[in-house]
Structure formats: structure tokens, C-alpha cells
Structure 1
């Protein structure tokens, strides 16, 4: 925060009254005033402002500010004629530009306001970032400017540049109440005047919390010096200043990334409001279309999702509690409004009641309007989606998926809900799990937005300590209501809020970015998160995916954004609209029309027009769906302000909302929509209905009823289309879905789907028959034949998708056949899916993969077809090489050598060598097998390390020059240093020590210190000891590790500790344990004196500390941005979080960081339980070195140890004298020691944040 302390214009009286001032000591003012009025007699006694109220009555035309100036300058006369003299004096002061500032006080404060007058004005000036003062007609940043207050103990008025922007009774300490800054009030590059006027009990409680100015992503906490003026300053004098005032100034440099906790405000800014009739009058539609208002407030409000039951009734989720969950408190947040709360809200019926509603709407007389509306479930808390089916009402009530039983289908719950799933993320309530939709396969599908993280469990089925299914950021998921199985369907995508199945069962969602209408999700697909990597949404879950897929491309430019879209396949619109996308664009008040164009197994799109535009700034379409009557229904959130940050700021109208209908002008609508009343044969007949809703609802009802008489009918429909000349997949596709959902799809009829002439039926046959995780024996030969001959890219894509669920004996032959056929090298999905299959088995069944690729004992490798196909070379072999190089594991490096050796020609060898060099560049290569160096050399590899390994003096000289060249990359120089470590040469040692002491990059310095530990030169210890005190903390840790590595060096270091040159506190517990392990009596004696064995904290002591930390975290908010620095200093060198950090300890990203019950014990008592794979290992070498760390790789030749400083050391097994495991964790005790209470809150605010806040 930038502030300027004003100069004092008077001397504070030494009485107990802080508002007494003596005469001004500024002789220049006295002189100039005297000259202007010809009078020089001044009062010499102190004046108490509070005892001079008569002045405000006797000088009504003199400004309050001028009067107070006179008081502060000591120029007020006590005589009854003093008002005249005062007027003259004040006039002179004003005309001479000598108007003084107010009394300086600290905000927040209690003591300084203890004896303030009953009426006061607090004033400060702020210059804001230019983005907050935009003159554009619509601008997110300037429309999001706010002031917030809390902890105000009395009636107040709030002014900005003389404009009143708020006021009211006293405010509690929390939450902050926010007041919108009207557009145009803030002035650009000016010092804007913020004033608070209080009357009453301000003296009793002081101002407990500093006001804050908020932008959309940043904020300024106005904590510091303010000006206090007695009385109420006239608004006309609370103006912005073009020049910097003398005091109480805050500038744009003080704005920081937002982190102040927010909560629901009582000062909602509802924005512009129009009646539904007014909005409709502003609507225009495309040719042949008409639009109606079906529902409006008060029948619906804040609709985010709707669906239809089998009786044709409309179910609406009214998300009125958004954006703040009821009953829980925000502890911290980041600038993207992702929050950490104090607790997990309980599930209904034991929940904190909120404002959300599930309503049902009926057309009882068939006239096309909903004449009966009922609120079926009220008082919900974060309920954004609802769908009926399978005997009840399914509600997405984040963090839970609920099931309300309704076996008789009357639309009224017959009991309390069952919590079916738990653990969906709640940290950003505009990105919560959403979009409930019945899939054609009988699963219930949903989406998860980009800024939440889930750890989903099945209450009653999964154990209490189950880790759940973890996923960070956007994905699509599904739940089987019969098998009660939950799984992730596809990873990545946009900030999905709604899903759409087309009539052939393809899954789509919208996107909240530009350049696309949305995403096409295939089973087991892996997509970029928000089209960015890693951005603010975290890295891909699989670091070896190598090429996540993007959204559907468009032939035309698309402005942000298409929130959701429906593929129209109904009967209520003209035929020209069949198959078109109807996309909801809430930013432009439109429903956009687009066409799809096949591209391999997916699509591109092109916009064709605007289906609906309502030129009312409250029209915000968010959900679109084909209706039972054959029309299109549209949910309108109905808000002037649509950005979620503005909603968090309180710019929202929770009582507004509409449902519109788009229909064909003059066209009839479907009236026969009560499918629940149909018998089974009628439902089978409806599988041929031209309206998609009729067909797909009939499928679901047939499956739920499981009327055995319908099975032969369905099989007949599936079989009949095999001889039909029609290109339509219907009703064969629906009959296949119904057979599967009813549990009747098996080899006896499944072959019909695999041999069907319509490709999408074959694709669904593959998917449904393989969804169990294995193709049954009678089906497997048919699938093998299909993959060898299939002409359809969509079917081949589904084979690759399904292969990710199959055992290796089925999956690998399928993807290898697809690869050899080489028909899909340019397909949007298939190449990546094939690679993901191979990659998954490289992790779990490596030998099986190698066998399928032809790496038998004779080492022949892949056959010619694999090397010559683009898919084989680009999607499998190159990525296999890239992955093997990236892991650095010796077994994978040996695979690199086998790939190089088996390449049939120079072109393939050089291509693979290039991939491998890119993967190896910057890595520790001391453990690379000699065979791989030879293979690289024979392939024309250009790695400088080859020459060093071959002991080429010229290569060594060049490497010594390169490690000192700071223009080269850090990783490249570090790698050269690691290679040079094996050279026992004084020149090499000197160069490495020079780098350790003075290189500008810490990583290079650490690599150099680790490298010299391999040398036996006795001068190394003296040089390292000499530089130790000047090294940065992270480099110093590596220096200490180096000194401890040899007994002679360790003894010299211990002597420095005894003499006080080195602080004993700098030696971590793992280093001390290594010192204890040395056999020499002298070392043992010194270690015992310096580091007596400490008593571990007892369990009761740790529990007391845990309770204390819990209390501290709940008292006040934390700042994750401040906490990031604390985390980086204490944890990042060992632990990876999101896409940054070391790899000594476990990756914390999927760890249950939100759960203090598991987090705090592991931090306070790290050795109580050490996770497998992270046990500390102590190694003594034959040349006298001592090393400790985590074994990260080993084989029959070498062991690779990663020390606590993150540096890897490769030791040949013949060098090892002793290897043993320690019971002491590498993670030191006392990690939280030394942190203040606020630092603890900041540290945990960052540690518990669900997604990255910085790149």
C-alpha cells in the first residue's frame, strides 16, 4: 500500500484530549496572513474544537473545511466578534491555497477515535488502476468497481467524490458489506476522495476493519493513515484532486490480487429490471420462428437447468442461493473467486436451509402453456440441476448428488433424500458439478466446471477412508443408478455448465471462451482445460498424454461465448433448422444458429444466423433444450450483470428469471407428451417418432419397465435395419440402447449391432458391448474383424475409446491394428486415444507392451508397418520414446536404446534420436546406460554429454566453457555439470566451485555443489565452508549436504558449528542423522554435544497444537497469495503442488489438503507415518561418502537417491558399502514453528487452495 504521511500543521496539545491544538508554528503562514489582513495578534492558548460549536452557526457561508483549517492553524479569536476575523482569515487561507488537511488517524483503530466528536468525517484519497475508469458503454472492469465496509459501530454515510454510494446502520465485523461504485464516479489518474461520515457510537468501538476498494480481480485494503475532520463535511467539498493531496493517499501500486473473504451482502445491486412483457417486445427471431414467454418471475427465478419427466412436465432448478452457500463461512479465496470454507455443508435433510428451489410445471389442458406450477422442494442450498427418472428426483446439490424417492411419479418426494454421491467441489459456485442428463446408455451424466476440484465418494458404499475419485478442474462424469458406479467419462473441456446428447448419442457442451461453439466429448477422451495448458486450471492429470484435444473448430470468428447449446432434432420448427445448433450467448443476448460439418470422428461448425435476439440487457440465456412439444426451450438467468465475479460482489437479482419457447411460426406442436401413460408396445412404436425427446424418453421407460415382451420387438427393430436402404440410424439405435439399458444386450443379439450397415449403430455396439471392461468371447472375433476392415472414422474412434477400458490382451491388438492401417493420422481424437491405451499399459504391464511391439529377447522390435505408418511413428513410437526419456527411469532409458537400435532406417533413427535428445536435455544423465550412449552416437546424436562420456578432452573443454555461459539455459548447464562430476580434474573442480559461489542461477549453483561431492579433493570443504555464509538458503542447504557427504568434510563443518561460524539450526534432521551414522569417535562426540537427541512431542501435545491451529484458522481470513511465499520457502523444494515444486516428497496436488484432520497431524508429526516410496535411505560408499534421501530409481546396476534438497545422485552398486532405511521422515519437525497467527492463516489458505493461483 502506497501512502504519504502529511506534514503536521499544528502541535498536538499535551492534554488527554486529542483534538486540542495550539497555535501554528508555521511562521510563513502567519506572515502571509498578517500581511493580507494587517493584523498580527494571535491567541496563544490551546483551543478545543469540541468547545467551539458556535462557529458553525456564526459563519454559515464559510465552508466547514475552511473553518476546520482555522482551528488547526490556531487562528480563531475567542471574542464574540471572532466570526468576522475568522471569515477574513479563512478567506485569506483559501485564496492563498493554504487549506490544511485533517487530523491523521490510523484505520482500523479504536484508541485514536476514543474521544472523537459525535459527528466526524473520515477521508482518504485513492488513485485507482485505469481499468476501473473505462468510458466504454459496457465494461466488466469498471462495472465491477466496489467499496466494502465492515466493523462499523454506528450509523454511517459513504461518499466517493461527493457522490453518496451507500450508508445505513452499524455493520458487524464480518462479512464485508459491498457498495457499488456507479460508472463515471471514479476519475482516471485522479486522487478520488473516499469519505465516511459517522454519527453516534464511533467512539465506543472505533472502526474495526479498514475499508477496501475492489476491482474484478484486484483490491486495495485501505489500511493506514486517514484524515479525521470533526462534523460532516459537505459533499461538494469531497471532490477528486488532480494533484496529490498532502496526506491520506493510496495509489494503484497498493492494489493486490483479491483475497478478502466475501459473503452475501444485504446491499444487493439488482441492476436494470424489465418485465417479461417488456423483454418480449424487444425480441426478434429468425425466419419462420416465433418466441413465447412460458414462465417468468415469480414462478421461476435464476433457472440454471431444466428437464422433462416422462409425463412431459417441466422440472426447473432455481439457483437462488447462488453464489454464497448458506451456513458456512469463507475463510480465504483467490482472485478467481475460488474459496476455502470453514466446513463442509451437510446434506439434506440435515442441511442449512438456503433459497434454492426445485419446481415442476404442467400444461394441464394441452393449450401449450404451463398453467400449474409447484415448488416441489424448497430451502435447498446450492441446487443447480434436476432430472426425474429411475423412480425419483435427482438433484445436483453441490457437493452432493441427491436422490429423492418418487416411485409413483406424482412429482412429490416420498421421503428424505439419499446422498448418492459426495465430494464435488464447492470452492467456486459458478463452476460446480452441473448439467444432469440421462445418457442413451442408461447412465446419469454430469459436468464439472473448470475452477472446482472433486474427490467423489459413494456414501454407504465406499469406506470412510476411501480416497474417492479425484479430479482437478473441468471434466464430464457419469453415474449408473442401478450398478451405483461412478466414473470420469472424459477429462478436460471448457467451463461446462450443461450437457447435450444429440439423437445419435454424441455428447457435447458449451464453452465460456471464444473461437468455438463448444466441445465434443468422446469416451475416455483427454482435452485441454479451457483450451489452455496449464493456465489457471492446473496441468493435465497424465503428464505423458502429449497432446490433449481442443474444442470444435469454427469456420468463422466467434466472440465469447456459447454457454450451452442444443442440437435441434424435433418437430416444432421448420425443416431448415433440423440438426442445427442453438447456442446460448448470454453476453450478446442471443441464441446463435450453427451447422455441424463432419471432420473425421468429430465436427467443425459454421454460424448461419441468429435464432433469437432480445435487445434487453437483462436477457441472459444459459440453458437450451429440445422440448417434448417439439420446440426449443431457453432458460434466461435474467440479469444485467452476468459475470460471476459481479455476482460474488452482490450485483445480482435472485428473484428474476424466465423460460422462453422458440417454435415454428404457425406450426403445430406435439400434444401427446405423457409417455408415462403409454403401454410397452406403444413405447416401442415411439422409437420411430420424429421428435428426439419422444424416442429417447421411450428408451428410458422401456428400460425401467423391463417388460420381457418387448425384447423380441427390440431385436426385430435392430435386425430389420440390416436390410433397409434407409440411411437413418433410427429406430435401430434406440432399440440397441433399450436392450442395453434393460440388461438384455449380450452376444446373442450384440452381433447385430456390430454388423449393422449404419456406422453409428456399429460404434454404439462397440461401446456398449465393451463397457463391461472386456469383450465376451463370442464377440471378440467380430471386433477383431471389425477393426481390420471398418470404413468409418467414428467407429474406429470408438474402438480406440473402448480399448482404454479393456485388458491388455484385447486393447493392444486393437490399437496396433488401427495404427498399422494408418487411416486416422489426422483424426481429431483417434491418434491420441491409441497412444493413451499404450501409455497406460506401459505403466502397469510394461513387458506385455514390449511383447506386442515385437521387443522379444532377440530385440527385433516393431514390424515394418509400424515404422512406415504416420500413426505408428508419430503417435506411438515417437511418444513412447518421448515418455521413456522424460521419466528418466533406467528401464525406460533402456527402452529408448531398443527403439533406436530397432529403427529400420536412418530417417527413423534420427527422428527418434531428436525426440529423445529433447526429452533428456537438462536431466541428470549420470545413470544413463552405456548402451544408450552408444545407440545415440550411432544415430548421429548431438548431445554434448556424448563427448564427455567418451572422455573427449575437447568436449570437456567446451563443456567447461558452456557451464559458465549464462546465456545458455539453466537445465542445459545443470546437465553438463552433472556429467562433468565424474571428471577428477582440478580445472573441473575449480570451475564447478566458481559456479557454486557466483552463478546467477540457484539451480546451477546447487548442481555444482552436488557434483563436487563426488570429488575427493580436500580443498573442496574449505572452499564450500568459506562461501557458505554468503549462499542463498536453498543453495546453502545443498552446500551443507555436500559437506556432510564425507567424514573429513563433515568434521571441518562441525568445528565451524562449534565455533559459531555456522548455526546449528541450519542442519536439518536428515543431515544430523547422517552425521550420527559416521563411525569416527571424534565426529560422534561433537554430534552428541551439538545435537542431543530431542524428545518427540507426545500425542497429547500434538493434539493441543492441532486444536490451537484450528482455532487460529477460524478466527480471521487468510491470504493465499501471501501464503504462497511461505509455502515456497518451507515446502516447495520437496513437494510438488499443481505444476511446480520438488519431487522429494509426495505430490500434494491430489492429497486431501482441505481436510485438516489428516493434514495437521502429518505436518506436526511427520515421522508418525511415512508413505511407501518416501522412506529415507542412508547409503555409505566405499570411498567414504555418506548420502541420504529417497530412492527414486534403481536396477541391478545403479541406485538413484534424491536428497532433501532435491538433487539426485546416481551411485553404482559396486560403490555401495552399506544401504539401510531410516524411521525418520525427511520432512523436518517444526515446519510451522516461527509463523505468526496471520502467517499460519495465510500458509493454510494457500496450501488448501484447490487449484493453482499462479503459473
Structure 2
């Protein structure tokens, strides 16, 4: 659901519990906004604000309709309102033109649940306005999505996805089957599963938001679970089985005309997903960059042209907040930029002029408007600049207007879902003294649905698609309206009527519309009736988008030699997008010609990181051959990106258990000239960095003098580079990781030298983290010995290393007991992890050693630090506090590391609540900010925050500011600690006055 700058979107369990759910967002230094003045002259506890808080009353649907300002070429029409519908957050149209609408009146209601519903709306007189409502599905909790199929609907209501159907025609579902179970149900009701969309491939796609979940699928049986965190779901509605794909965003996911996926999140208005995780999953040695890419040039701070008044409570909150910022009443803008982006939707209809097809629409309910962008190509990605220059596409003067979702309709227009609420922000994030003047559930009995159409729009007469013959449905694939094509294709897939195969082939071969040709091809595939000749025509189509769709289909025909040849030929297509898809699709088979084509793609587009990634996704097989082919191109080897790809590929080859590939690499490296020996050494170094047993065996048994020279020369040059104080620090740091693959007897003295206090901080930092890769008991001894000379930052890194292996944890406990390491150097949450260790001996010792340290029961500390709320803070001093204590995990004013959330939103939280977050972060932890323990197959334990994840890898961000990307094939175990990534004990670092200064500084940020 959307959120605002004040909160993240649809929050339900408000007040203290939900406030605390954001504890991790404030990581280490605990972000802040002043809800209570530090200025004693205006203490919220003593001032009655009722006189400045006049209620803004709701308007009737007719009055609200008059409040809109819309693009001059369009008009907006009301099609449904209360009492017919309340709090709409999602909808879909069935084949008869009826609308299933998801209602969420539970939003912001802290005391009740289970009274949300799905309504079935019908226009009985054909005037384009819904006039009848049926309680299709009642008494459900927090429904978020709906999609029509086989006369019923799939309904997302975390933790469930149901299939519901009315079999007796009374408008009420009498079938409610659980299709999936286990999706996350966020305590703030934000970022849950949403946006069920029909794909060209006859599948339903949906987003899991930010909550994910370990999901069981009824059709798969109880034994199989899917980890959906950070992923998207692809449902085959016929078999009800699923696959996982790329995820992203919070609430809102849309598929474009050609199935390109777009997502959004609170302050991120528009992102495009650059790849499908299912391709990435084929090569488990590939760690790709994050798939979501921002495409709105202005991002969060795109200037929004709001026309509604700023609510009195926002003004009051700003003034209260600014009282501690030396009179800066605004302390930043209270509105006018993205804080609640939601419901991103691609317009795919035919009622509007053609130039609008493909436009992106995003709701901004906190600003009472709808934003439009017009995407255009930017290499393999897109850029989506503002489409309306002097006013928003749609805006309202009614502050209750809350556009949270959109839907393309059967009539080719765009529908807008308006929750119509007094407060779209989560109630927990409004200061208590302000909240008492607002009704947090105001509007839960209201809701509107609008339709946007051109001024001279003539509504078409819509047939009942369920009564059309299959031939008539096939003809509708030629429609310019995306909803019509989707519905016709879906009904054909449901019917599985192969009698219309000739008509579909004719469309695939002869339609003048590229989208029709592609849809017909997928429809044939959905009927298991696509023949090779028709597919080959698609692969040779003149339109690049048809070629792309044909390549995706062709992956299922890859055993056919003609299909292989056609797929390979598309690697030389003039369209970069076609080449990109070819790089993925060629992974469906293996041949010499295919390897040559992949090498050719690299040669053409080696500068493009997405192309490099796509090629590697297809190289679980053939990596050695492609490596050797690329090494034959001396010009290519001069390119730094090419060198990087080769060394990355060498790492994969070394990790794989394919001796022939290792031999190919070594033979290829031996052919390099003297000027290319640096590349040879780096490739060899990477080959060894994660070498499998078979790789080591190949190298150990090699009689090649060249291999022996590389092996002996590698460590010598590495040691020379790492220890040479005359070299730039960056160059020395780059050499240190290679020490981890050397003989520790040889590298131990080197590490001792690099850890000495005379060395620059980055050298010592890298030496410590590199030691974590060395599996030798002497590592712990070395770190304990170096401990007295380590700074607090380095000690944090050393603790991370010592935690990474059980024998080192024992050494750490020994050092604490002996007094060589102060127990205070180990953060409370790390202590808790030791106390809850699965190793009984470690657990027992930790419990005894740290018996006076506890993770909960923070009431005394919180009580003591209430005094800081009454002190006058100095922002300048607070900035110093931030740099010293918070910058390791947060970034403000170009200082620090961005591990936690964006602190620019801190102005929207009350100081008292934020203080509670800082001092007691583990009362309630949001899912995305929980500390995880990742155990590798090599025995390492990595603890930290899951920063990103995809089909193949997980990136763990540590508390010391470093991070590790671990391939899933190297993960033995991944465990949630259920503890906040934000550590306890902040009061040990700053006193009450410093806390007041810190709060004042955070509040002063504009």
C-alpha cells in the first residue's frame, strides 16, 4: 500500500507498536523528528492545539468530482462511490464487465480486523456507472489484490492467496480455496502481496512487496516451501503451481504492453525491472546487480504540483518539530515531493489517443494527485521524464482524495481507485497531541472509483465475453485495447479449445499488429499447439518485440536444430534489446555455435553491464570455451570491462567441478603475450579464489611450467603490492584479499604487518575482513593479539570476523574471560546471539560471562533519557555526534554510509517515539531490518542485514559498514535472529545532552 513521508502507507496497528516496527529504520543513531518541542516555551503537554486544528470535512462524491483539475484533453467521471463501495485498494474486471473491488476499511484501525471484503459491482443499465453491489467475499483480513479466472477470482489476503467463486449466481462466493499460504502480513499493513497481472505467457504475475514470506503452495504439496522475500511470483492459474521471479517495490507493479515490469515504493516513484530471475537462477555462480532501476530523473524529489491545501495538522507538526531547530518553522517542505508513491500502472487502453499508450501513472495520495511520465529508451533501460509540465495530470483540492491504485478497463479508459480517507498516513507517525484532533479511521465507510476518458469519449457497448465463441475471442487478439487482448487470451487459455489453432496461426503470421502476432504465438503455446514453422516465422519477424517474445517461447523448443540456428542468428540482430534477450535465451541449449554467439555478444557490447550479466547467465555450461574464445581477441583484452568479465568467469570456472574447463583456461592463459600477463595473473588468482576440489586437483597434477610460475609468482607479487608503503592505499587494499588463498604459514607475518597501528585505516580494515576468509585457528589468536591497538570501528570488524566461525567464537570467549577483550566491546545483540547459540558449550559459557548484559527490559534507560526531550539541543554539536556514532550506517549531508533507511524522512516522526526507537530497538522489528545469520558451506557465519537478494545470491550488510554477497549454492543455513540490526546500548555512547543535540541536528536537515 502507499505510504507517506509521515509513514509508510497503509498502517493498521498504530500507536506504539507500529512506531516501534520502524526501529531499524533509525539504525544506530535513531533517526528523528520532533513531535514534542524541546523549547520549554511550547511544551506539547501544556498547550492545547484544538484552536489551530479545524477538521477538514469530507465532501460528497458530487462535490469531490468538482474538485479535480485534469489534463485539458480529458475528463474524469465518477463510476462508484459509498455506500456501494468503501476503501477500494484493488480491482479487476471480469469477462462480463463486472468489477471485483477489494475493500480495506481495517486500515489504521488498531482494534479490529476481519471486516474487510471483496465487492462485486455491476452496471445493470449500461450507462457506465455501477449501480449494484454484491458482498462477494466478506469477513476477511487485509485483502490487497484480486484477479479474475475461470468465473471466479484469485484474492490476495496475506498470509493467503485464495481462489473464490460464486457457483449459484447469488453474487456471493460459496467456494473459498487456499491456493498459497505464508505470505508476510506487515504490522503496518504496507508492502504486502499486491498487483495481480496477466502476462503474455498465460501466467499471473504479482509482487510480494517488502514482506515476502515462506510460502507453501497447495498444488505443490506441504513439503515444499518458497522463500518469497524480495521476489515476484509467477502463477500458472491452470495448475496453480508457481515460479519465483524478480521482485521489487512496495505496493504497485505493472506489466507494460510487451510485459516489461515496473514497480514503485514510497519515495521511489518509478523503477523498471531489468531481468527475470528465472534466467539468473540457471547459473548459480552468477551474482547479478539489483534488478530494479530508477527511471524517474527527479526520483523522490521530483517537484509535485499539489493544489490541495496543506492540512493544519501538517503545519502544526512542522512548527512543533521546528521549535528545537532555532525557529526554522518549516525545517523542510511538508509536502510537494514523492513520499507515498503507489499503484504504478502502464496505460494500455485504446480509448485515449495513441501517444498515451505506454505512459506510466503513479498515485501520490499524500499530495492528492496522480503523476504521469512518458518512458523512452535509454540503452537497455528506460528513462521516464515528467509528461505534464505545468500541472499534474490529475490533482484535487480535496485533501481526502487518496488515489492508491489504477486499472485499465474494458472500455479502454483508465480507472482510479480512491480510498477517500482523512488520514492516509499511518497513525503511529503522528504526534499524539496532534493525532487526538484527527480521526485515524475517518473515511473507512467511504470510497470512490473514477474513470478518466477523453473529452469526446463515446463509451463502447461491451459484449459478454463469456458468450463469445473461441473464434470470436481469437479475433479480439487484434484489438488495440490491452484489457481486451488479455481477457480474450485468458479465456482461450481457460477453454483449451484447439479448434481455433488455424485462426491463431493466421494471426501469428499475418496480423499487421506486432502485439497481436506475439499474443497469438503465446496463445498457441498455451494450447500446446505451436509448431516449429510458425515459431520460426516469429523468430524472423521484422519487429524486434515480436522477436523477443519468440525467443522466450523458443527456449522450450531448443532441441530443434532449426530453432537453435534462428536463435543464434538473433544475437546479431540490429536491436540491442533483441541481442539482450538472445543472451538470456541462448542458455536454453549448448553448442559450439552458441558459445561463439555468446562470445560475439560480449565483443559487441562488453561495456554494458546488463549484457555481461545476461551472457554469464547462459554460461553454466560452456564457460571454459567462451573464456578461451574471448582471450583470442587481443583488442578486446585491452578493455577493462572485458578484463573484469574474464576474471569473473575465471572465478566461476574455478568453483565449478569441471576439470576440462580448468584445463581450457590454463591453456588459453599460456597463449597470452607478455604485455597481457597481468590479466593472466588476475584470472589465475580468481580461478583459485573459490577453487573446488577438482580444480585444485587439476592444478596440483599439472606438469605445466607456466602453471607453476603463475602459482609462485602470484603470492610474491601480492605480498609485494600489499606491503609496499610507497604505493597508493587503494592499490594496496586491492591486493589484500588475494592473501586469503595463500598458505597461512607464508601470509601470517604479512597480516601481522598489515594490522600494525602504523598502517592506514583502510589497510587494517581490509586485512581484518580478509582474515575472515582464512580457515585457520591462528586467525583468532592474531586478532586478539592486535586488539589493544584497534580503534572502535576496527574492533567492530574484528568481532564480525571472530563471530564467523565457531572455533573463533570460543577464542573470543576465552579472550573476554582472560580480560584481553573487554566485554563492553561486544554489542548486546552479539551477546544475545552467543547466548542463543546452537552450540551448547558456547551458549553456556556466554551466559556465564555476560550474565549482567541483557537485551530487553530497557525501561530504566528510556526513563532516564526522557530528560533529553526537555533539553535545548544544538544542531552543530548534534552533527558531530552523528558523524562519530551514526555515520557508519546512515548517510546525511554527504557524510556516512547508507545501510539503514533514508534519513531525509525523519522529520515525520515524533521525538519521543524516535527516542524509544533508539534506546529499545528490539521491541518490534520490521522484517527488512532483522539481523540474519548466514552460515556458508565453508563454515563461515556472516551476521547482518539482508540488503538485497535474488534467485542466486544474498547480500548481507554488516554492522561495521562492510558487506558480503554470498551465492545461494554456498549457503548452508540462513536463520533470522529476530533481533534488530540496530544495536542496543546507544546510551553508552552519548549522554542526555548529546542525545538532545543529535535530535536537534536530525530535525534541522532540510
Are the equivalent residues in 2 in contact too, given 1:638–1:657 (CA < 8 A)?
Answer: yes
1:482 to 233, 238, 249: 238
1:607 to 386, 397, 402: 386
2:175 to 416, 422, 430: 416
2:646 to 877, 891, 895: 877
2:204 to 444, 448, 451: 444
Does residue 651 of structure 1 match 2:651?
Answer: no
Query: 1:433 matched to which residue of 2?
Result: 193
Query: 1:1248 matched to which residue of 2?
Result: 978
Q: Superposed, which structure 2 residues align to 1:791-830 within 5 Å? A: 791-802=574-585, 806=588, 813=595, 816-817=598-599, 819-823=601-605, 825-826=607-608, 829-830=610-611
Distance 2:62 2:285 in 1: 53
Query: 2:66 matched to which residue of 1?
Result: 281
Query: 2:212 matched to which residue of 1?
Result: 453
Distance 1:645 1:544 in 2: 43
- The 1:614–1:876 alpha-carbon spacing in structure 2 relative to 1, beyond 3 Å, is same
Q: Superposed, which structure 2 residues align to 1:987-1006 within 5 Å? A: 995=786, 999-1000=790-791, 1001-1002=794-795
Query: 2:103 matched to which residue of 1?
Result: 318
2:550 to 743, 760, 765: 765
Are the equivalent residues in 1 in contact too, given 2:570–2:579 (CA < 8 A)?
Answer: yes
Query: 2:311 matched to which residue of 1?
Result: none
Are the equivalent residues in 2 in contact too, given 1:996–1:1008 (CA < 8 A)?
Answer: no
Query: 1:469 matched to which residue of 2?
Result: 226
Matched position secondary structure for 2:128: coil
Query: 1:834 matched to which residue of 2?
Result: 615
Does residue 551 of structure 1 match 2:293?
Answer: yes
Deviation at 1:975, TM superposition (A): 7.8
Distance 1:742 1:677 in 2: 20
Gaps of 5+ in 2: 18-32, 49-53, 303-336, 701-707, 724-735, 827-836, 846-915, 947-971, 985-1006
1:678 to 438, 458, 468: 468
Does residue 397 of structure 1 match 2:176?
Answer: no
Deviation at 1:679, TM superposition (A): 1.9
Distance 2:123 2:917 in 1: 51
2:932 to 1101, 1125, 1137: 1137
Distance 1:814 1:271 in 2: 68
| Greater fraction of residues in helix | 2
Q: Superposed, which structure 2 residues align to 1:799-1198 within 5 Å? A: 799-802=582-585, 806=588, 813=595, 816-817=598-599, 819-823=601-605, 825-826=607-608, 829-838=610-619, 841=620, 848-853=621-626, 862-864=631-633, 867-868=636-637, 873=642, 876-880=645-649, 898=666, 901-902=669-670, 904-905=672-673, 909-910=677-678, 931-935=710-714, 942-944=721-723, 960=753, 963-965=756-758, 967-969=760-762, 970-974=764-768, 995=786, 999-1000=790-791, 1001-1002=794-795, 1028-1032=818-822, 1137=932, 1144=939
Deviation at 1:369, TM superposition (A): 1.4
Are the equivalent residues in 2 in contact too, given 1:393–1:413 (CA < 8 A)?
Answer: no
Deviation at 1:630, TM superposition (A): 1.8
Matched position secondary structure for 2:265: coil
Matched position secondary structure for 2:521: helix
Deviation at 1:719, TM superposition (A): 1.5
- The 1:809–1:834 alpha-carbon spacing in structure 2 relative to 1, beyond 3 Å, is same
Matched position secondary structure for 2:393: strand
Are the equivalent residues in 1 in contact too, given 2:752–2:782 (CA < 8 A)?
Answer: no
Deviation at 1:621, TM superposition (A): 1.0
- The 1:954–1:625 alpha-carbon spacing in structure 2 relative to 1, beyond 3 Å, is closer
Does residue 502 of structure 1 match 2:256?
Answer: yes
Distance 2:660 2:108 in 1: 48
Matched position secondary structure for 1:383: coil
Q: Superposed, which structure 2 residues align to 1:484-633 within 5 Å? A: 484-491=240-247, 493-495=248-250, 497-514=251-268, 516-520=269-273, 522-524=275-277, 545-555=287-297, 558=302, 559-560=337-338, 562-609=341-388, 610-633=392-415
Q: Number of residues paired by the alignment?
A: 762
- The 1:744–1:810 alpha-carbon spacing in structure 2 relative to 1, beyond 3 Å, is farther
Query: 2:23 matched to which residue of 1?
Result: none
Deviation at 1:776, TM superposition (A): 3.3
Query: 2:559 matched to which residue of 1?
Result: 776
Deviation at 1:951, TM superposition (A): 13
- The 1:947–1:833 alpha-carbon spacing in structure 2 relative to 1, beyond 3 Å, is closer
Distance 2:384 2:659 in 1: 45
Matched position secondary structure for 2:528: coil
Are the equivalent residues in 1 in contact too, given 2:599–2:630 (CA < 8 A)?
Answer: no
Matched position secondary structure for 1:453: coil
Are the equivalent residues in 2 in contact too, given 1:270–1:652 (CA < 8 A)?
Answer: no
Deviation at 1:714, TM superposition (A): 0.8
Query: 1:190 matched to which residue of 2?
Result: 40
- The 1:792–1:1025 alpha-carbon spacing in structure 2 relative to 1, beyond 3 Å, is closer
Distance 1:940 1:1025 in 2: 30
Are the equivalent residues in 2 in contact too, given 1:894–1:932 (CA < 8 A)?
Answer: no
Deviation at 1:284, TM superposition (A): 0.9
Q: Superposed, which structure 2 residues align to 1:137-216 within 5 Å? A: 140=6, 186-190=36-40
Query: 2:497 matched to which residue of 1?
Result: 707
Query: 2:321 matched to which residue of 1?
Result: none
Distance 1:958 1:142 in 2: 46
Distance 1:981 1:1150 in 2: 24
Larger Rg belongs to? 1
Which string of whole-angstrom CA distances, capped at 9 and with x for unpartnered residues, describes residues 144-192 of structure 1?
9x99699xxxxxxxxxxxxxxxxxxxxxxxxxxxxxxxx9995442287
Distance 1:508 1:832 in 2: 20
Query: 2:80 matched to which residue of 1?
Result: 295
Measured on the aligned residues, the alpha-carbon RMSD in Å equals 5.7
Distance 1:1121 1:852 in 2: 54
Matched position secondary structure for 1:441: coil
Does residue 695 of structure 1 match 2:485?
Answer: yes
Are the equivalent residues in 2 in contact too, given 1:302–1:655 (CA < 8 A)?
Answer: yes
Does residue 786 of structure 1 match 2:573?
Answer: no
Gaps of 5+ in 1: 1-137, 151-182, 196-237, 241-268, 328-352, 528-540, 842-847, 1015-1020, 1037-1065, 1074-1089, 1091-1118, 1152-1225, 1228-1243
Deviation at 1:909, TM superposition (A): 4.6
Distance 1:957 1:499 in 2: 52
Which string of whole-angstrom CA distances, capped at 9 and with x for unpartnered residues, describes residues 820-875 of structure 1?
44247437x4332323444xx3xxxxxx55543457xxxx9844389549697166
Distance 1:741 1:405 in 2: 23
Distance 1:761 1:302 in 2: 40
Deviation at 1:752, TM superposition (A): 2.4
1:388 to 124, 148, 173: 148
Distance 1:798 1:374 in 2: 45
Query: 1:1234 matched to which residue of 2?
Result: none
- The 1:751–1:963 alpha-carbon spacing in structure 2 relative to 1, beyond 3 Å, is same
Deviation at 1:279, TM superposition (A): 1.7
**TM-score under structure 2 normalisation?**
0.64
**TM-score under structure 1 normalisation?**
0.52
Deviation at 1:300, TM superposition (A): 1.5
Distance 1:790 1:695 in 2: 28
Q: Which piece of structure 1 moves more, 706-715 or 500-509?
A: 500-509
1:635 to 388, 401, 417: 417
Distance 1:812 1:866 in 2: 22
